[in-house]
Amino acid sequence: MGTINRFSVIRHSDISNINGQTPNLDLSGSVSPIPSVSTSGGLFGQVVATITKAGGGEYTNPNYSAECTLADGTVTVTDANIDRVLESDGSHLAGTLEISDTNASTAQRTVTITAQEFGDLTRSETGSATYTPTSIQAKYIRFTGVLVDGSATNKRLAIEDIRFFTGGGQSGTEYPTTDLTADNSETGITVSAGHVYNSTYEAWKAFDSSSGTWWWPLQTTAANNWIQIEFEDGTYGTKPIIKSIQVDFQNSWADTYYFKITTSANADHSSATDHGVFLANVSTVTNFG
């Protein structure tokens, strides 16, 4: 036997009486307003969901429950794996959820969110938005040191290792396929940087799989604070599709841990595509996608 959720399109919690008879409900409390949801990002399944209060205004002290699913109902990200964010003053939950969707499916997902204001007796109805994980396929993939807002900075990066993978979750073919011993030691791959401090910290040191060596652009300008990998046309007529990456920052000598990923088909990085700003963990290897 089912339970009536709506009667004549009206939610049960909003029904005060039917033909003069009162439902056996505690109607003393309010229902939280429905959230509006929008999504941004999508590279490697990294998505930000932004929640606003439908109809305007703001939640005062909200809590959220969220879940991501494929069209067939398969859950790709559970509520417990969706990150909350605090308001800038730390006072309450902000209207932002951060999602890392590593499910192998390339199909569109729906993130479904319900809200509950502290003290409201009933959570909101669901708000939803869709997203589709994207990947990178380009001749040049560049990491540029930036500030949290994505703006250029001369705060130096310091990277021990970067790896690119054709599968989600650091699976599939790994690029470079070897541990580099020079910027062009692997056929078909050239790594380069806008600036290197000296020969101890050359670009290939970020692709040699050694945690004891790193690329370091000490004294860089903001414009030159980058490192990149090139998939040369002669070997890679079709560029590999990159679905995840792994980054190991040097934990003592970087001044910024934010980096922007851009891609281009051109040697001067013109007409580049901006794939977003990422934050590496200070002390451990960080996986994206």
Partner 1 sequence: MGIDKINNQDFPQSTTAPATTTPSVSLAGGAFGVVTATITKSGGGTYTNPNYSAQCALADGTVTVTDANIDRNLESDASHLAGTLNFTDTNASTAERTITVKAQEFVDRKQSAGATATYTPSYIQKKYIRIRGVDEDGNDSSQRSSISNIRFYTGTGQSGTEYPTTNLTSATSETGIVVSAGHEYSSTYPIHHAVNGAGNMWWALGTTAANNWWQIEFEDATYSTKPIIKSMTVTMPWNTTSSAYFKITGSDNADHSSATDFGVYATNIISGTTTAINIG
Per CB under 8 A, residues contacting partner 1 are 1-5, 7, 12-13, 18, 21-26, 29, 61-65, 79-86, 89-93, 98, 116, 118-119, 121-123, 148, 251-255, 282
CB 119 to partner 1: min, Å:
5
Closest CB to partner 1 among 106 and 281?
281
Closest CB to partner 1 among 115 and 136?
115
Closest CB to partner 1 among 236 and 253?
253
Distance separating alpha carbons of residues 278 and 46, to the nearest angstrom: 9
Contact criterion met (CB below 8 Å) for 262 and 144:
yes
- Which of 235-256 are b and which e, b meaning 16 or more Cβ less than 10 Å from the residue's Cβ? eeeebbebbbbbbbbbeeebeb
Chain-centre distance of CA 225, in angstroms?
22
The token pair that represents 58 in the structure block: 């703001």
In which element (H, E) is residue 146 found? strand 140-146
Distance separating alpha carbons of residues 46 and 165, to the nearest angstrom: 15
CB 113 to partner 1: min, Å:
11
Of 47, 52, 71, residue with least CA distance to 131:
47
What letter represents residue 123's amino acid? R
CB 198 to partner 1: min, Å:
19
Closest CB to partner 1 among 132 and 251?
251
Distance (Å) of CA 127 to CA 27, 38, 46, 138? 23, 9, 20, 35
Distance separating alpha carbons of residues 205 and 181, to the nearest angstrom: 8
The token pair that represents 148 in the structure block: 């949290």
CB 163 to partner 1: min, Å:
22
Contact criterion met (CB below 8 Å) for 99 and 68:
yes
CB 80 to partner 1: min, Å:
5
CB 45 to partner 1: min, Å:
16
CB 79 to partner 1: min, Å:
7
Closest CB to partner 1 among 18 and 182?
18
Closest CB to partner 1 among 19 and 238?
19
Closest CB to partner 1 among 218 and 222?
218
